Amino acid sequence: MNNFRERANFIWSIADLLRGHYKQADYGKVILPFTVLRRLDIVLAPTKKHVLEAYQNHKDKKPEVLEPILNGISRVKFHNRSRFDFVELAKDHNNIAANLRNYINGFSISAREIIDYFSSEDQIKKLDEYDLLYLVVKYFADAKDKFEVSEPMEMGYIFEELIRKFAEISNETAGEHFTPREVIRLMVNLLFANDKDILRKEGIVKTLYDPACGTGGMLSIADEYLHELNSSARLELFGQELNPESYAICKSDMLIKAQNPANIKFGNSFSQDGLEDEKFDYMLSNPPFIGKKPKSSLKMNMKTKVLPDGLVPDFRPSAMVLCFSFSI
């Protein structure tokens, strides 16, 4: 897993195609969604032929009937029923915009909702206008080996490295988007330390919540840790994230890992709690980033969340290494 930075650097180098047409701060608006699309494409490749055959046999069925059938054949919680994939898209320069839209529209509902958070249609129009769309697709198609990872966590590292680069050139604090993996492992170890006997029980199911989940690194490592402890255990993952790109990446990662992407909510978990009525066995998170905001934007649940006047938690991962965790 040590070469994740090399992979991320190669993927980011594709942004050189955008010079002169995009501001550097906007490179991530292209690189991140195409990275997610290419990763989904790789995951679906082994069963794509069978999904297309099944679609022809069942395409007249209602979506609520069709989607589970095709998801079952794809062996993950999503599918793509377009005849295109990245390899096929790269074969037709003249119709790249229409074909790419066809490909995106071919995703199942759960995957399309994720892609929509990247405003992909805006980027397709812009790239096509600059005659860059085919070049970007071709580079991602040719970079197949960069998206084939031996361990699922490696792709999480790659995503976070790309977001860090995006943050740096956007004059944001890069540390807000990254918590060192060794720190997360320590947190998870402490979180589960007193419950290891319980967690070793056959078929045990527990829930974990991260109110500032970013790209889902803490959730994924906790899931990985519990699976190492007990391969029959199941950890249901829940989270909320304020940054649209991080949110979309987290949901796509949950989709690939057979978690329920609907458990990941968008927005500020203090002012727009998307999981207000849920209860969880464990909670794991970075501390909230506190920022000054106008009083008019203060929308707090006053029963449980009270802060000094004018301060609103932003609940993005902060540059601080100090983190907190709870076992409830």
The answer to whether residues 105 and 58 belong to one domain is yes
> Does the pLDDT of residue 113 top 70, yes or no?
yes
Q: Are residues 148 and 287 in the same domain?
A: no
Domain boundary among 141, 169, 197: 169
Distances (CA, A) of 201 to 14, 116, 222, 279, 283: 47, 40, 17, 21, 21
CA angle 16, 112, 242 (to 5 degrees): 75
> Does residue 328 surpass a pLDDT of 90?
no
Of 101-110, 151-160, 285-294, where does mean pLDDT reach its minimum? Answer: 285-294
Q: Give residue 47's domain range.
A: 4-169
Residue 291 has what pLDDT? 52
User: What does the CA dihedral 215, 1, 39, 164 come to, rounded to 10 degrees?
Assistant: 40
Say yes or no: 284 and 162 in one domain: no
Specify the higher pLDDT residue, 286 or 285: 285
Across the chain, what does the average pLDDT equal? 84
pLDDT at 288: 54
Counting residues of the chain whose pLDDT is more than 70, the rounded percentage is 82
pLDDT value at residue 316: 39
Taking only the tens place, the pLDDT of each residue in 81-110 is 999 999 999 999 999 999 999 999 999 998
In angstroms, the CA 218 to CA 190 distance is 13
Q: Are 193 and 136 in contact (CB under 8 A)?
A: no
Q: Are residues 119 and 82 in the same domain?
A: yes
More confident residue, 160 or 171: 160
Q: Do residues 35 and 161 both lie within one domain? A: yes
- The domain boundary, picked from 169, 198, 219, lies at 169
Instruction: Give residue 59's pLDDT.
Output: 93
What whole-number distance in Å separates Cα of residue 31 and Cα of residue 12? 7
Same domain, 66 and 160: yes
Mean pLDDT of the 205-232 span: 92
Predicted pLDDT of residue 7: 87
pLDDT of the residue at 170: 64
Return the pLDDT at 49: 96
172 — pLDDT class (breaks 50, 70, 90): low
CA-to-CA distance for 297 and 272, rounded, in angstroms? 12
Structure confidence at residue 119 (pLDDT) = 86
Same domain, 19 and 107: yes
Instruction: Please tell me the number of Cα atoms within 13 Å of 245 on its side-chain side.
Output: 19
Phi first, then psi, for residue 202 (nearest 5°) are: -60, 125
**Residue 154 sits in the same domain as residue 216:** no
Q: Where does the pLDDT of residue 189 fall: very low under 50, low under 70, confident under 90, or very high at 90 and above?
A: very high
Q: Could you tell me which residue, 289 or 286, shows the higher pLDDT?
A: 286
Residue-level pLDDT at 244: 84
The last residue of one of the domains, among 127, 151, 169, is 169
pLDDT in tens, 119-152: 889 999 999 999 999 999 999 999 998 888 767 6
Amino acid in the structure at residue 248: A
Asked if residue 233 and residue 163 are part of one domain, the reply reads no
The CA–CA distances, whole Å, from 287 to 175, 237, 241, 274, 321 equal: 13, 19, 13, 18, 9
pLDDT at 324: 46
Residue 327 has pLDDT above 50, yes or no: no
Share of the chain above pLDDT 90, in %: 54
Confidence band for 4, pLDDT divided at 50, 70 and 90? confident
pLDDT surpassing 80 at residue 248: yes
Provide the pLDDT for residue 204.
Answer: 95
pLDDT at 309 over 90: no
Per-residue pLDDT, 205: 96
> In terms of domains, do 250 and 153 share one?
no
Per the structure, the count of domains in the chain is 2
